Amino acid sequence: MCGIVGAIAPRDVTPILIEGLRRLEYRGYDSTGVALVDGNGQLALRRAVGKVARLEEKLTAAPCSGAIGIAHSRWATHGGVTEANAHPHVSGGRIAVIHNGIIENYEPLRAELLERGYVFQSETDTEVIAHLIHDCAKTAGDLTRAVQQAVARLTGAYAIVVFDAQVPDRIVVARIASPLVIGLGEGENFVASDVQALLPETRRFIFLEEGDVADIRRDTVEIFNQQGEAVTRPEHVSSLSADAVERGEYAHYMLKEIYEQPRAIADTLSERIVGDHVLEAAFGPKAATILPQVMQVHIVACGTSYHAGLVARYYLEQGARIPCTVEVASEYRYRNPVVSPNTLFLAISQSGETADTLAALREAKKLGYVATAAICNVPESSLVREADLSLMTRAGPEVGVASTKAFTTQLAALSLLGLAVAQRRGIDRRITALYARQIRSLPEMVEHTLKLDAQIKVWAEQFADKHHALFLGRGPSYPIALEGALKLKEISYIHAEAYPAGELKHGPLALVDDDMPVIAVAPNDRLLEKLKSNLQEVRARGARLFVFADPNTGFEPGDGIEIMTMPDHIEPLQSPLLYTIPLQLLAYHVAVLRGTDVDQPRNLAKSVTVE
Ligand code: G6P
């Protein structure tokens, strides 16, 4: 998704901007650009289609430098992937603008500005903002006022960063529904869409709130709310380390992140289970009053986080004996749902900035839920700031677009939620103590499961030339099959689908032949025998079966069936998380064999901050 970086400093800011873009690369983008005010007071603009490296090549061919500058990585929404559509967009050779989000009323504004004589160079909604600010600046007498007047006319979602080359003493920013953070330095200040971009420069951050406009100069930061009143916003010191996003010895971020899972899960559980008890305070100060009232949970999320929600349904229904429903956020927000009494609304999101999930949370706040809660990986995110309760997954920054450690830490956090609710519901202490022990041993079990990597790499060779794959599971293994199929399609571009194995004969069996590998998730649970019958149906149609199974499940390798044996003693509560690991590795190795861009798959973005 789009990335923003800006800086005003007593030195050349070009390296800060380029490093910031590089640190946002993982979010996905298709073109980049930078605008600076050079030593002669002229606006210098460089833009390129493709990766940050292409922009760097342009800067080497035609160098520029300056003490004030803005840079952007674009993920196309309005207009194709071209250099003309890349940001920054400029009006009158002086106003430079970068923008994340979507302006919904850009067409009437564009028509109005065309009539007023502005000439458009691109097909983007962003260029409208540049001309509108330019137009307002003619009478406002001050860039901050011009931006305030301009944004008052915009509808939609935006984070905007602007400078005026004729008055290069400030950067002005504004946001609604798209994240924007100010980084505070000594005699220099910065702005970005994500703290990651600025960690080499500062750890001190101010998060702008909805409707804020800020005037950022070298020594001062002034913030105004939507009503134009001067306000102060708290300063946060980030605990993230600048090198948390380095790849180290691993060939890809995704592989590094798969191998980080034992540590990430241990961190997520750390200090939250004491003895056999989940500490409710981990969910925030209001947890002790809210959790006792919860009789039902409605979960909303997107993508991989949605799959975590589907697993959580089993934790809450089977473990804590309360009803749980799960839904994708893009559907929920337009559904006009009927809310049962004492229902907790739970949003799950790695980034905490996914537009649909955030909009769903905001909608939910109007609907009479007992409370809202977030399970999220980014403490400073909008989702966490706006939910009543939150539990942070401590996965650390996830760079690979295909989510891995964020998913398994979500499962760990959701198992804690299930246990916390079970405790409150008065479920037998012996049972909750057993769950607690099973949750605590997850990091070690993941470590064992990762040892399957070499075998999985060999299996991957049988998938590399395939066009389709079918994943099967039952019960809580069905969402894991969904997640396995999603991983494979995201990074290898093999069409993959997942089905609850019992549904096989209602359609997908028609597709099965010897060219369609079928992957089955087969833990030793109460549905094992049912699954085995379903797999017989597949084998009878000549498909090649790849079964991930517990030891002693009675599967025999043979003609057309290969078995990968999981570590010993996996309990039902643990199996969704543990069976995820080999499916991640399978997708990874298949993608590497096919030579795709594992960390930044085509057309996808890490954080989808537009609807
Ligand atoms: C994008 C990412 C996925 C992620 C989904 C939801 O599609 O590529 O990996 O699962 O967004 O993101 P969230 O940050 O809300 O979990």
- Give tens-digit pLDDT for 307-349: 999 999 999 999 899 999 999 999 998 898 999 999 999 999 9
Hey, which of 378, 401, 403, 597 would you mutate to test ligand 1's pocket, going by the most ligand atoms within 8 Å of its Cβ? Answer: 403
Six token digits for residue 284: 């925030």
Sequence length of the chain is 611
Residues 434, 436, 528, CA angle at the centre, nearest 5°? 60
CB–CB of 520/472 below 8 Å?
yes
Atom of ligand 1 nearest to the CA of 383: 15
Residues flanking ligand 1, CB < 6 Å: 302-305, 349-351, 354, 357, 401, 403, 604, 606-608
Unique residue bearing structure tokens 């939150």: 390
Q: What are the catalytic residues?
A: 2, 606
Please give the torsion angle defined by the CA atoms of residues 589, 593, 597 and 601, in that order, rounded to the nearest 10 degrees.
-60
Rounded average pLDDT per 10-residue block, the chain, 611 residues: 92 97 80 95 95 94 96 84 94 96 87 96 94 96 96 90 96 89 97 92 93 97 96 89 74 95 90 82 88 96 98 94 96 92 97 94 96 91 92 90 96 96 91 93 96 96 95 96 98 96 88 90 92 86 92 88 94 96 98 94 83 76
Residues 31, 33, 34, CA angle at the centre, nearest 5°? 165
Instruction: For residue range 474-485, list pLDDT tens digits in order.
Output: 999 999 999 999
The Cα-based distances of 67 to 11, 41, 91, 183, 600 in angstroms read 5, 10, 20, 16, 32
| Cα of 114 from ligand 1 centre, angstroms | 38
Measured CA to CA, the distance from residue 535 to residue 504 in angstroms comes to 9
**What kind and span of H or E run contains 148?**
helix 143-151
Contacts of residue 569, defined as CB under 8 A and 6 or more positions apart, other chains included, come to: none
Measured CA to CA, the distance from residue 204 to residue 184 in angstroms comes to 5
Hey, which of 300, 606, 611 would you mutate to test ligand 1's pocket, going by the most ligand atoms within 8 Å of its Cβ? Answer: 606
Measured CA to CA, the distance from residue 146 to residue 285 in angstroms comes to 41
